[in-house]
Amino acid sequence: MVSLLIAYLSWSGNTKEVAELIESRLQEASIDVTMYRIGAGEPIPDVASYDAFMIGTFTWGKGVNPPQLKKFIAAVGFKPELVYVFGTGDTQFGGDALFCAAATKLAAFYHSPLRPLRIEQSPRGHQEQLVIDWTDEVIEHYNQTMIQ
């Protein structure tokens, strides 16, 4: 069974909600998902022991990566081969360049093969479909990568 780690940073719960929606969709596809909430005091997981790695974050300041996120990345200590990125943000903090900028930067940092999923605040409602569609893209991408 494919194993996938979702590490996410969430302060007020939006990114957590996205992570949980992604988790449900992956589980429907028989993927073994482990959830890790960054900054909650749990030991850093062994990222290398999973088939794939997903990371999610909110954006802070003016397009800034939250400090706990940077700390987590440093503690992991290496860049996994296959990283999928999602984030939540709020367009009222600036234009498209600032919206979910932390997720955009993370995707570039990890050379993610897919565009990062960007969700405005809570994913509940019409954005749930965006989460489902993106998760299906991840599953398809992962399956294609394994065939090659």
Ligand X SMILES: Cc1cc2nc3c(=O)[nH]c(=O)nc-3n(C[C@H](O)[C@H](O)[C@H](O)COP(=O)(O)O)c2cc1C
127 contacts ligand X (rule: CB under 6 A): no
Q: Which is nearer to ligand X, 20 or 51 (CB)?
A: 20
Q: d(Cα 108, Cα 116) in Å, to the nearest integer?
A: 9
Q: d(Cα 134, Cα 21) in Å, to the nearest integer?
A: 11
Size of the site for ligand X (CB under 6 A): 23
Task: Single out the residue of 4, 6, 7, 14 in contact with ligand X (rule: CB under 6 A).
Answer: 14
Q: How many CA atoms does the CB half-sphere of 85 hold within 13 Å?
A: 26
Partners of residue 48 on adjacent β-strands: none
Q: d(Cα 111, Cα 125) in Å, to the nearest integer?
A: 30
- What mask, x for binding ligand X by CB under 6 A, covers residues 76 to 105? ------------xxx--xx---xxxx----
Binding site for ligand X (CB under 6 A): 10-16, 58-63, 88-90, 93-94, 98-101, 121
